[in-house]
């Protein structure tokens, strides 16, 4: 397999409907304007389903409960600063038809068949087993509190059985791995819980836990309270677009059809025009997802800061769901506890819904760059993706049953994600310089934002790495 040439596959092995195989027959003219682009949006909904989940419900709320409004600026910064890097990586994908891990493997030096970036990705993936185990555990906790099996909701029996049910249910729903099913499910999950949570956050000023403009202003003072640095760094790594979401967004851009519609690069002006048009659609998709997850993130943080912080309640261990329920019962009454539990299942379930097929694709791509399989063989690729769709939820469920501390598990994944962001920035600039057609570069304003975003990510990534190794 020639990973540098996505159209090098022999014709008799090309699936005419495979979005990863660029052929002249797949070319489509790009839509113009928002009205005509709406039906072509979708990858951002999957991205938002992953983001408006464990990071927001667990890490961001916990951070608000710990420090109050003091780090509101970090919440906004963390969602905004990584978007330019996300767009630039997707620009390369749309113009070449190649997913992220294929690109990462072009950045030397290499150890065997893997580049140093993909080796770091593999290490991050190991830490993400804990994070995703925390997400599975969060859903199991919520379900066990609502419908305990075999006694006490916190008993090993009830939590264990619900973990098994969630794992098996996820596999059954996602085994087909069809893009349309994943996109539609993600969109529904995001809309339901985001509107509920944002509505409650906006309604807090009319409750005993009202916040003021002075609280908001204090949260925008660019300060980090003593003792909150670790939580802030984990939040930066996991809220907004993390390194894993930056990576898997490229797969969904391809599977939505953006790269296939552009077609193989024949060097013509017509190709550049199509590429610019479909990249413009991706801009709209990325903007829509940014709006969704930014408001969702702010809402969770404000709820933690306004409701939990004054009471000294910080979500920990298996009491996470019970503590977070207080955000609802203390503002709306006891009846709202059930509303929150249902919402928690939806929001954490949305993370699982997006993460399982996304990670299945990334693991499969990693094996492809190691020449274990041929990425361009659509049938072989799908078999591996389905295999990981079965295996990953099982591993994540076992991780939770072994550790049983969802907050800590998610925070560990957040720190690892923050470190890997460094490598993603290096890859993005390498691919931009060596493979992206300069005629497709963004505007001067976008390019300036890309520089600022890259510098911010590098500085915070370095701080995270030094902090992990005890330099601070």
Confidence of residue 388 (pLDDT cuts 50, 70, 90): very high
Q: Does residue 6 contact residue 376 with C-beta atoms inside 8 Å?
A: yes
CB 74 within 8 A of CB 220: no
pLDDT at 41 over 70: yes
Q: What is d(CA 457, CA 218) in angstroms, rounded to the nearest whole number?
A: 24
Least confident interval from 61-65, 260-264, 389-393? 61-65
What's the rounded Cα separation, in Å, for the pair 397 and 216?
A: 38
Higher pLDDT, 320 or 280: 280
**Which has the closest alpha carbon to 292: 43, 123, 22?**
43
pLDDT at 410: 59
Q: What is the 3-state secondary structure (H, E, C) of 66-125?
A: HHHHHHHHHHHHHHHCCHHHHHHHHHHHHHHCCCHHHHHCCCCCEECCEEHHHHHHHHHH
| 352-385 pLDDT, tens digit each | 899 999 999 999 999 999 999 999 999 999 999 9
**pLDDT for 131-189, tens place per residue?**
788 888 888 888 888 888 877 877 778 888 999 999 999 999 999 999 999 999 988 88
Which helix (H) or strand (E) element contains residue 7?
none
Higher-scoring residue by pLDDT: 78, 100:
100
Mean pLDDT, range 269-292, rounded to an integer: 95
Residue 190 clears pLDDT 50, i.e. is over it: yes
Q: Are the C-beta atoms of 225 and 70 separated by less than 8 Å?
A: yes
Query: Which fold, 30-468?
Result: Hydantoin permease (1.10.4160)
Q: Which 8-state DSSP code applies to residue 60?
A: I
Q: How far is the first Cα of the chain from the last one, in angstroms, to the nearest whole number?
A: 46
Angle at the Cα of 287 from the Cα atoms of 456 and 173, rounded to 5 degrees:
105
Rounded to whole angstroms, the Cα distance separating 57 from 44 reads 19
The dihedral formed by the CA atoms of 245, 250, 251 and 253, expressed in degrees to the nearest 10: 120
């Amino acid at each position: 397999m020639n990973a540098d040439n996505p159209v090098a596959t022999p014709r008799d092995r090309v699936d005419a409907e495979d979005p990863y195989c660029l052929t002249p027959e797949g070319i489509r003219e790009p839509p113009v304007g928002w009205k005509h682009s709406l039906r072509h949006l979708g990858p951002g909904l999957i991205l938002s389903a992953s983001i408006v989940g464990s990071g927001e419900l667990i890490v961001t709320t916990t951070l608000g409960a710990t420090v109050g409004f003091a780090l509101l600026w970090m919440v906004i910064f963390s969602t905004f600063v990584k978007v330019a890097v996300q767009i630039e990586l997707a620009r390369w994908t749309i113009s070449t038809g190649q997913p992220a891990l294929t690109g990462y493997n072009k950045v030397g030096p290499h150890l065997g068949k893997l580049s140093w970036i993909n080796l770091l990705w593999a290490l991050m993936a190991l830490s993400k087993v804990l994070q995703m185990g925390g997400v599975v555990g969060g859903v199991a906790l919520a379900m066990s509190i609502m419908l305990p099996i075999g006694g006490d909701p916190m008993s090993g029996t009830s939590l264990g059985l619900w973990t098994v049910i969630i794992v098996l249910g996820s596999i059954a729903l996602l085994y087909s791995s069809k893009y349309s099913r994943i996109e539609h499910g993600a969109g529904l999950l995001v809309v339901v819980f985001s509107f509920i949570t944002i509505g409650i956050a906006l309604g807090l000023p009319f409750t005993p836990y009202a916040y003021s403009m002075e609280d908001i202003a204090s949260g925008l003072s660019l300060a980090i309270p003593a003792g909150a640095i670790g939580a802030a760094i984990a939040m930066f790594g996991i809220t907004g677009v993390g390194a894993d979401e930056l990576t898997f967004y490229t797969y969904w851009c391809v599977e939505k059809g953006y790269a296939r519609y552009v077609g193989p690069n024949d060097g013509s002006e017509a190709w550049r025009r199509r590429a610019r048009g479909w990249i413009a659609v991706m801009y709209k998709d990325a903007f829509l997802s940014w709006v969704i997850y930014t408001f969702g993130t702010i809402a969770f943080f404000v709820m933690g800061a306004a409701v939990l912080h004054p009471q000294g309640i910080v979500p920990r261990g298996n009491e996470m769901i019970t503590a977070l329920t207080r955000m609802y019962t203390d503002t709306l009454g006891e009846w709202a506890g059930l509303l929150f539990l249902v919402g928690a299942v939806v929001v954490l379930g949305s993370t699982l819904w997006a993460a399982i097929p996304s990670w299945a694709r990334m693991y499969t791509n990693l094996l492809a760059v190691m020449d274990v399989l041929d990425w361009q063989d659509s049938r072989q690729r799908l078999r591996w993706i389905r295999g990981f769709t079965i295996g990953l939820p099982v591993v994540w469920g076992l991780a939770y049953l072994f550790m049983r501390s969802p907050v800590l598990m998610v925070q560990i994944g957040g720190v690892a994600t923050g470190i890997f962001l460094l490598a993603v920035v290096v890859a993005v600039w390498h691919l931009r310089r060596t493979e992206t057609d300069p005629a497709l570069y963004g505007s001067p304003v976008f390019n300036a934002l890309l520089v600022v975003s890259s510098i911010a990510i590098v500085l915070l990534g370095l701080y995270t790495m030094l902090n992990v190794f005890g330099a601070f």
